[in-house]
Amino acid sequence: MDEFHNISYFDYNSTTPIDPRVLDAMLPFLQDNFANPSSTHHFGQSINEKVKQAREQIADFINAEPSELIFTSGATEAINIAIKGVAESYSSKGKHIITVSTEHKAVLDTCKDLERKGFEITYLTVQNNGLIDLDELQKAIRPDTLLVSVMYANNETGVIQPIKEIAKLSHEEGALFMTDATQAVGKIEIDADDLGVDLLCFSGHKMYAQKGIGALYVRQRGNKVRLTPQIHGGGHEQGLRSGTLNVPGIIALAKACEIASQEMMQNQNTISELRDSLEVQLFKLPNTSLNGDVKNRIYNTSNICFKGQDANVMIGRMKNIALSNGSACSSAVVEPSHVLKAMGLGEDDAFASIRFSLGKFNTKEDIETVIQKIKEITQTNNNYA
Ligand SMILES: *Cc1c(COP(=O)(O)O)cnc(C)c1O
């Protein structure tokens, strides 16, 4: 943790530190409480009871039934199980899937894989503000469309799509609807039942639990969603995700949900205030602009274009500040953000953009530090000459 205390961390959308209370809750399950919840002895069954309680708590947090939750290693796996599971299970109806060009790579690359297997994917474009056009979606849905997949909040820009409306529209046109809600769960209230989604994914390490735990919500009420299993073995998780349960992860995720449900409003107030004060200061600098919709946006994220600058150079010059110029994945290759390009930014502007993603451990001092540093850099690093 020493490292964390010395830096101003603005990369919460790529991962969060573990909340100390989450760590306390999970530690006994890494030590004394190690039994396999599938074991029939009393020790195993006592752990199974804890898993059951955790599952109820997590389900309750997104207003789902415990039987509607499948534990996975994270959002990427949940997304793979959902999209491939639907594709295989419903392929007699057709082979068409609709998603959006600004989705996370976990969705885009899973769809690419299905394209190689004979599926047809429509990648919806977005408007300059990052929002999809519902008319375009409606026109894209066909009788052979199995699934529409649209993320809840974008990891790079924070842009929030109208998920309830999109789910309704998809259903009216006869398609299933899934949402990657990894950047929404834990930050804002999510009611899977009210949203009317069929499938919803989220991840522990984006909400102050550890890496390696996530969940997939699979609707069982009303129209049951059928998924063909992609991972075979002992038949855990209703046969949809075999493998010994990650008990410490499940306990941690439940604790993270409990904390989020109690502190969400407070976090929203303090984090949005910090984010807004950051933006007020940065937008006073010349040649700065916001990427994404001002209104339909999650409160912790700000994606700003510093026109004429090189974001990578800027980030490299900020030694004790953790920032991102795109998503965290595949950062060995320097490519402009596919999200910003889809929103109509040119390559130069995409390369000039920085994502600030804030979290509950950020302080006013962090904000002052980053503003000061960016002022220095943009004033001494004028690339117009
Ligand atoms: C982080 C993230 C993922 C991947 O989650 P993992 O749990 O790391 O697999 C997927 N979608 C979005 C929107 C994300 O932010």
Structure confidence by residue, pLDDT tens digits, 31-55: 999 999 999 999 999 999 999 999 9
**What is the average pLDDT across 114-138?**
98
Q: How many Å apart are CA 325 and CA 338, to the nearest integer? A: 11
Q: How many Å apart are CA 113 and CA 82, to the nearest integer? A: 14
Q: How many Å apart are CA 301 and CA 282, to the nearest integer? A: 14
What count of residues does the chain have? 385
Q: How many Å apart are CA 369 and CA 252, to the nearest integer? A: 32
**What is the average pLDDT across 250-256?**
98
User: Buried b vs exposed e over 125-164: b needs ≥16 C-beta within 10 Å?
Assistant: ebeebbbbeeeebeebbeeebbbbbbbbbbbbbbbbbebe
Terminal alpha carbon distance of the chain = 42
Q: Which atom of ligand 1 is nearest to the CA of 214?
A: 7
Structure confidence by residue, pLDDT tens digits, 116-125: 999 999 999 9
Q: What is the dihedral of CA 357, 362, 367, 370, to 10 degrees?
A: -60
Could you tell me the distance, in angstroms and rounded to a whole number, from the CA of residue 69 to the centre of ligand 1? 17
- The pLDDT value given to residue 231: 96
Q: Tell me which amino acid residue 37 is.
A: P
Could you tell me the distance, in angstroms and rounded to a whole number, from the CA of residue 373 to the centre of ligand 1? 29
**What is the average pLDDT across 53-69?**
98
Active site residues: 329
Q: Which atom of ligand 1 is nearest to the CA of 78?
A: 9
Q: How confident is the model at residue 332 (pLDDT cuts 50, 70, 90)?
A: low
> Which sign, positive or negative, has the C-alpha torsion 165, 265, 208, 322?
positive
Structure confidence by residue, pLDDT tens digits, 348-361: 999 999 999 999 99
Q: How many Å apart are CA 107 and CA 274, to the nearest integer? A: 31
Q: Ligand 1 pocket: which of 11, 102, 154, 180 to mutate (most atoms <8 Å of CB)?
A: 180
User: Buried b vs exposed e over 18-51: b needs ≥16 C-beta within 10 Å?
Assistant: bbeebbebbeebeeebebebeeeeeeeeebbebb
- The continuous run of DSSP H or E covering 306 comes out as strand 301-306
Report DSSP letters for 162-178, one per residue.
Answer: -HHHHHHHHHHTT-EEE
Q: Do 161 and 299 form a contact (C-beta atoms < 8 A)?
A: no
Given a cut of 60, is residue 110 above it in pLDDT?
yes
Burial of 82 (0-12, 13-18, 19+ CB in 10 A): buried
Given a cut of 70, is residue 331 above it in pLDDT?
no
Of 195, 214, 188, 194, the residue nearest 203 (C-alpha):
214
Structure confidence by residue, pLDDT tens digits, 204-251: 999 999 999 999 999 999 889 999 999 999 999 999 999 999 999 999
The full set of domains in the chain, from first to last, is 2-16+263-380 (3.90.1150.10), 20-257 (3.40.640.10)
- The pLDDT value given to residue 333: 65
Residue with the nearest Cα to atom 5 of ligand 1?
A: 75
Structure confidence by residue, pLDDT tens digits, 79-106: 999 999 999 999 999 999 999 999 999 9
- The pLDDT value given to residue 5: 74
CA-to-CA dists, residue 41 to 33, 35, 36, 38, 242, angstroms: 13, 9, 10, 9, 20
- The pLDDT value given to residue 385: 37
- The pLDDT value given to residue 6: 85
